[in-house]
A and B are shown apart, each in its own frame.
Chain A
Amino acid sequence: MHIAEGYLPPEQAAAWFVVSAPFVVHGSRALVRQVRADPESKLLLGAAGAFTFALSALKIPSVTGSSSHPTGTGLGAVLFRPPVMSVLGGIVLLFQALLLAHGGLSTLGANIFSMAIVGPWVAYGSYRMVRRAGGGLGPAVFAAAALGSLATYGVTVAQLALAFPDPMSGIVGALAKFGGIFAVTQIPLAISEGLLTVLVVRLLSRTSGDDLRRLGLLRPAAEVRA
């Protein structure tokens, strides 16, 4: 769920750039270090960015009868790790703004914070927690994708509520209003994205085991089934 161009008041739009900047700078430094140590990883990162962008071309059927696209933050975070996703997600959001007019330049900081920072970290944290608790790859990937998508939705709603508090009930009322109107599409979408991501990882475990091992998702010569 991208906040459209110009929707946030200027001071709030600027504040979200300031909040997102440390994460993106940290991710950029990690990316520069990785590329310096292994110049060929640049190509893999480029492919990862293009893959994340292409995920937004998938059309998930929605309960309202229309279709929606997955955020891709869960799968991206599990495959490529959250620090790299803060940069790749930022690049993808910039491309979505400049090629599709989804999101915007003034709202890029806010959208990066929800979709390239909080979403991936929640997704990766959920994935690690389920794995550490002894859960299989399937449940862990479902938790990552569904909770990552829900976190993105929650942060976007909070950003809108902070920008436009309700005149009577303040930020709490605004949270209920914005949360209620977007919940109709976003909660089913999060569940759909979780299920879809499990199917994708299950398929990739069978067809691209070597690539998943290279990315550290599968252990060497094990876990061929999600």
Chain B
Amino acid sequence: MFALDIAAHTGPWRNRHPAEKALLALGLLICAVALPAWPGALLSGGAAAVLLAAARVPLVVVLRAARVPLLFVVTSTVPLLVSMPAPARLAIDPASLPVAAQTAGRSVAALTCLLLFTATTPLSDVLPRLHRLGIPPAVTEVAALTYRMLFLLVESVRAVRQAQAARLGFRTWRITYRSLAGQAGAVFVRAMHRARRLEEGLAVRGYTGSLAVQVAAHRVSVPFVAATTTLLGAIVAFSAGLVSPW
């Protein structure tokens, strides 16, 4: 399993209704993206960071998950700091610093909000409820099947990679590419095999085309929703300059 999914399955917010957590985390995310970076993104990102700690998400999980997107943010912020006055001529542009800082700040804040949602809400709770948003059941069922199979396949990739490494399968570039093709091939064969086995298993159980699964019922907490609405309202009002902290 993935570290974020493990955190979501084992955290203290596991049994909260996914809609509550979506309202909180995605509400903060919308605030981070749509409100002015200062102070909207700062407040939303700060609130999400505090809530990540309140939801007892391990810091190491958050930092590990943030590595790749932060690398993108850093790399793509570099071109914002330079301007191109003439072809093949680059110059550092101090006037671009506010735009670069706002963009990077907004992205880091939004990423923190995304992590608040992903580290507290298991995907298995979200997928069966997606049809309520108007997504066709066939699409949500394909998504659910993808979710069920992907852990096995990613685990297969890791197992094959480990076996190949133990047999010096990454010694040269040529051997590395052959090993990578072996990994992809093994995953394809396993995916097709798994689909066939599911097909046969469902056929003998009188499959009619519907893959209904039992969804754990969670009550929506009114105090949680009220607190979320107040927090989001305060961030919007403060960012819009309607209220002063003093």
Contact = CB atoms under 8 A, between A and B. Distances in A.
Given A4-B73, A101-B114, A106-B29, A49 B183 contact: no
Interface string B156-185: 111001000000000001001110111111
A222 interface: no
17 contacts: A2-B69, A40-B199, A40-B203, A46-B145, A47-B195, A49-B142, A51-B188, A54-B156, A54-B157, A59-B180, A88-B146, A91-B146, A104-B114, A164-B103, A177-B90, A178-B79, A204-B185
A46 B79 contact: no
Given A105-B26, A164-B99, 10 more contacts: A39-B207, A43-B195, A44-B192, A60-B180, A87-B142, A97-B114, A102-B69, A169-B87, A182-B76, A196-B180
Contacts of B185: 200, 203-204, 207-208
A134 B140 CA distance: 40
A61 interface: yes
A100 interface: yes
Given A39-B209, A178-B79, A181-B78, A49 B145 contact: yes
A45 B123 contact: no
Nearest to B85: A168
B202 A43 contact: yes
A10 B34 contact: yes
A53 B153 contact: yes
Nearest to B201: A43
B194 interface: yes
Interface in A90-106: 91-92, 94-95, 97-106
Nearest to A203: B185
A156 B177 CA distance: 26
A-B residue pairs, 9 tightest by C-beta: A6-B110, A46-B145, A49-B146, A199-B181, A39-B209, A50-B149, A173-B84, A177-B79, A47-B195
Interface string B107-151: 111110111011000010010000000011011011111111110
A1 B69 CA distance: 10
Interface of B: 2, 4-5, 26, 29, 32-34, 41, 65-66, 68-70, 72-73, 75-76, 78-80, 82-87, 90, 93, 95-96, 99, 103, 106-111, 113-115, 117-118, 123, 126, 135-136, 138-139, 141-150, 152-154, 156-158, 161, 173, 176-178, 180-185, 187-189, 191-192, 194-195, 198-199, 202-203, 207-209, 211
Interface residues of A, number: 76
B177 to A, nearest CB: 6
Given A32-B138, A99-B5, A106-B33, A203 B79 contact: no
Contact of A200 (B65, B66, B188): B188
B69 A104 contact: yes
A176 B146 CA distance: 38
Residue from B76, B86, B180 with most neighbouring chain A CB atoms (10 Å): B76
B98 to A, nearest CB: 12
A47 B149 contact: yes
Contact of B143 (A91, A99, A176, A199): A91
A208 to B, nearest CB: 6
A153 to B, nearest CB: 13
A31 B147 contact: no
A39 B142 contact: no
Nearest to A180: B79
A100 B114 CA distance: 10
Nearest to A179: B79
Given A42-B142, A47-B195, A199-B178, A181 B75 contact: yes
